[in-house]
Amino acid sequence: MTETPAAPLTVLSEDETMFAEAIGSFFREVVGPKVHEMDKNQKIDPGVLKQFFEMGLMGIEIPEQYGGAGGSFFMACQAVEEAAVVDPAVSVCIDVQNTLVINALRKWGNEEQHARYFPKLTTDWVAAYALSESNSGSDAFALRCKATADGDDWILNGNKLWITNAGEANLFLVFANTDFDAGYRGITAFIVEREFDGFTVGKKEDKLGIRASSTCELILDNVRVPAANVLGPVGKGYKVAIETLNEGRIGIGAQMVGLARGALAAGIAYCQEREQFGRPISQFQAIQHQIAQAAVDVEAARLMVYNAARLKDAGLPFLKEAAMAKLLSSQVAERVASKMVEVHGGNGFTTEYPAEKFFRDSKIGAIYEGTSNMQLTTIAKMLLK
């Protein structure tokens, strides 16, 4: 499959370009041959997951003293993007680990929590972010999971739904309310280990796309969590959630950009091979224009994502830019993936070619970590305040 360039040199530094090229090659050569099988089996190959840890992809921003790569948020987004060029399903596994859970632990965790969990997260522990429930999706703070104080511990009861990485995860960042009378100001973040008594990973969802990525229900039945596992102050979980998701939107934007790049690369390769009327269909202006427009859309979305990630790393305001990047990249991914199915013609409707998988995988971008409507609301509020 023809691969698009790793990045314009005007956008990436030399080190960032080398990083993108190195991990891009890894995903194409090692993950690429397993994509169809993982999608069919609805499971990430354990050997592939092990290699993610060995390459340092599961702890990019964790400081080197804890075994991490000591990289930037931008580098984490690069890894997410390059993974999605090959398989958006494995990309979201890396994304949730880095841009959500590790990001939250870095900002809100104390030194003891860092020392206890960072070495595990860089070695072999997958992490999951457990906020959503059956009645709290976009209305995230309508959650009903309850935390009750019991001496120095907390007892958690409730259910979580649609939790990415739950099938493989050892560590879960769980949000529960310690005081429903206080509304969202009672929400608290807890670090929950898979082996805690009363904690169960339930039903695995059978999904349209990103099928190798596990999405499961969590059941909390009198789960005892030590006070030492409260992340941030009690009652400040809403801030942990909001700030982490603001950053996570950029990660999803990177995933959607990578997906669109992968779909476009597949379309470019196919149209140069497929012949009709005695010549490759790439010689027809109708196909050329579709390819060109898709390339423009991908580059525009990519630059928006990069800009938001740069702002975040620089400590500058990025909320509006993150929402815009997530919105546009998800729209571009769906549009480009759909158009590349058409470029493939009848073959695009079969599982023999990658176009149909990119198309299936693209739809989730408008839904998770903040729907497109929620991004529009955020953008409007920022512009009109």
- Which of the residues 61, 217, 334, 369 is marked catalytic? 369
Question: For the chain, which residues make up each domain, given as ranges?
Answer: 14-126, 128-236, 239-384
CA distance 255 to 62: 20
As a CATH number, domain 128-236 is 2.40.110.10
**Any residues with CB less than 8 A from the CB of 305 and at least 6 apart, and which?**
77, 81, 250, 253, 254, 257, 325, 329
Q: Is the pLDDT of residue 350 over 60?
A: yes
Select from 1.10.3720.10, 1.20.120.160, 1.10.287.70, 1.10.540.10 the CATH code of 14-126: 1.10.540.10
Active site residue 369: yes
Residue-wise pLDDT tens digits, 109-144: 999 999 999 999 999 999 999 999 999 999 989 999
Comparing 175 with 13, the larger pLDDT belongs to 175
State the pLDDT at residue 12: 83
Using CA atoms, how far residue 69 sits from 23, 184, 298, in Å, is: 14, 35, 28
Residue-wise pLDDT tens digits, 301-333: 999 999 999 999 999 999 999 999 999 999 999
Q: Are 201 and 174 in contact (CB under 8 A)?
A: no
Residue-wise pLDDT tens digits, 37-82: 999 999 999 999 999 999 999 999 999 999 999 999 999 999 999 9
pLDDT tier, 9 (very low <50, low <70, confident <90, very high otherwise): very low
Mean pLDDT of all residues in 349-357: 97
Mean pLDDT of all residues in 347-368: 98
Residue-wise pLDDT tens digits, 173-217: 999 999 999 999 999 999 999 999 999 999 999 999 999 999 999
State the pLDDT at residue 14: 85
**Architecture of the domain made up of 239-384:** Up-down Bundle (1.20)
Q: Tell if the pTM clears 0.85, that is, is over it.
A: yes
In the chain, the amino acid numbered 276 is: Q
